[in-house]
Amino acid sequence: MNGISRRGLLKTGAAAGVLSLSGMPLRAQTRGGKLTAGLSGANTTDSWDGRTHSDLFMIASAQGTVFDSLTEIAADGSLKGELAESWEASADAKTWTFNLRQGVTFHNGKAFGADDVIESLQMHLGEESKSAAKPIVEAITEMTKITDHQVQFTLAAGNADFPYLMSDYHILIFPAGQIEEGIAKGIGTGLYQVQAFDPGVRMVATRYADHYKGDSAGFFDEIEYIAINDNTARMNALMTGQVDAINRIDFKTEALLRANPALRIQEVTGNQHYSFPMLTKTAPFDDVNVRQALKYGINRQEMVDKILLGHGQVGNDTPIGPANQYYAGDMEQLAYDPDKAKFHLQQAGLDSINIDLSASNAAFEGAVDAAQLFQASAAAGGININVVQEPSDGYWSNVWLKKPFCACYWSGRATEDWMFSTAYEAGVPWNDSQWDHPRFQELLLTARAELDSDKRREQYGEMQQILRDEGGVLIPMFANYVQAVNNRIATPDTVGNLWQMDNGRMAERWSIA
């Protein structure tokens, strides 16, 4: 990873010089104008509550637009401060002290300080909390306000990645004592202030005067994000000039976009992956042989060729991708093998098996087609898949985590522990396969506190192999981020690869050309 490394951060203790607000030298940017983007991933149940955010529309609307976090992943993958100016760790990485930025105000005029940080993190705790950031915050045993602009966190165990975790898009900072109002009205410290918000339809925000980031970010006067979940409608909106940018282009009509001289396509390789999670505590997926049969019953290269049209690479049933530091790219690749699929079914005491696979293009563009390809390839191995097409609206609340076998997509995470602790640690809210493997869980805790990079590589390598061989998530492909922008919009030379649309921070980083 570029920029300051996790180990380097721990060795130096504080990194205020490297982790400056501005990050990299800036090109001259044009101030003013409006950015209108057509984005997928919207739902009528959307709100400003960061605990519920799961797809691009609200990620882009909240973090980097209306709200801030303590830290930020820059476009080049390095870590820098946002509401935190600098931080330092104890030698064992269990105690972290964050120095907060002074002179910052919320959009309602309230001054930002330590109380806001503590109350905003406490939102994610509690038995009823379903926040994906709950395991991050639960690892904190004590939050101490040292001064109005200094907070100390004591962790249950050392975590070399802790400052990275504070950039999680769920962990937005709200005004203390006014959190319910902050959620209702969208009151943050971000570059833009909410003017209109219609869940699942649109969001409009204008530049907040005298923002603490000054002239280094937030170059538009106004932002409008329009919810366009339908792929064809999103493409048409860009082609006809109704919007300036869209995410998730339709590969089947990519040639039309490339032929339009007013438009350009951005393609970024990151850790985004498309998956089919199985609930491993639910029959028949509780049998490792059934899971292994499915692993050999999927034709990964066919999916990359036909669903991604080459815009990606085959996956190996691990969420750690090519942009991660400890990606096990040399691990033997699982290949399509119907005979091995039959063998593992026989090991499970079965000649064949009938299973339902729930899918919707809300999961990822082409998810239904991918499920049907899976259906066709698996049949040769005695696996009979019934593809259940689910409604797009409400897919993430009604299908994912609830149906035993479904289509899903993940953006990936900047660090291995962040990805694993979000979706593979036993008992966490977003563990979409109910994965609980003793050796894997042991390695997860050990690697988290390990400061030796070579040892961490070995530990994360073993974890990836366990997932490939026994895991409950099929990951057939890693997909590049492919989005399109009108030439009237200027974008940086380096575009973030952590999330779509420049890590969801296009409102902050892009400008009028």
Question: What is the pLDDT, as a whole number, of residue 213?
Answer: 95
Per the listing, tokens 């006067």 go with: 221
**CA angle at residue 339 from 335 to 345, to 5 degrees?**
105
Q: What is the mean pLDDT of residues 448-463?
A: 93
Q: Assess whether pLDDT exceeds 70 at residue 2.
A: no
Question: What is the pLDDT, as a whole number, of residue 323?
Answer: 87
Question: What is the pLDDT, as a whole number, of residue 28?
Answer: 60
Q: Which residues have a Cβ under 8 Å from the Cβ of 270 and sit 6 or more positions away?
A: 321, 322, 323, 411, 412, 480, 481, 497, 498
Q: Where are the beta strands (DSSP E) in 150-257?
A: 150-155, 192-198, 202-207, 222-227, 245-246
Cβ 479 vs Cβ 275: under 8 Å: no
In angstroms, the CA 307 to CA 301 distance is 10
Q: What is the mean pLDDT of residues 494-510?
A: 95
In angstroms, the CA 109 to CA 39 distance is 30
Q: Cis ω on the peptide bond leading into residue 175 (within 30° of 0)?
A: no
- pLDDT tens, position by position, 353-411: 999 999 999 999 899 999 999 999 999 999 999 999 999 888 999 999 999 999 999 98
Share above pLDDT 70 across residues of the chain, in percent, rounded to a whole number: 95
Q: What is the mean pLDDT of residues 119-148?
A: 94
Angle between helices 453-470 and 416-423 (to 10 degrees): 40
**Strands 481-486 vs 273-277: parallel, antiparallel or unpaired:** unpaired
Q: Assess whether pLDDT exceeds 50 at residue 16.
A: no
Q: Assess whether pLDDT exceeds 90 at residue 175.
A: yes
- pLDDT tens, position by position, 267-281: 999 999 999 999 999
- pLDDT tens, position by position, 17-29: 233 333 334 456 7
- pLDDT tens, position by position, 65-103: 999 999 999 999 899 999 999 999 999 999 999 999 999
Question: What is the pLDDT, as a whole number, of residue 30?
Answer: 84
- pLDDT tens, position by position, 27-44: 567 899 999 999 999 999
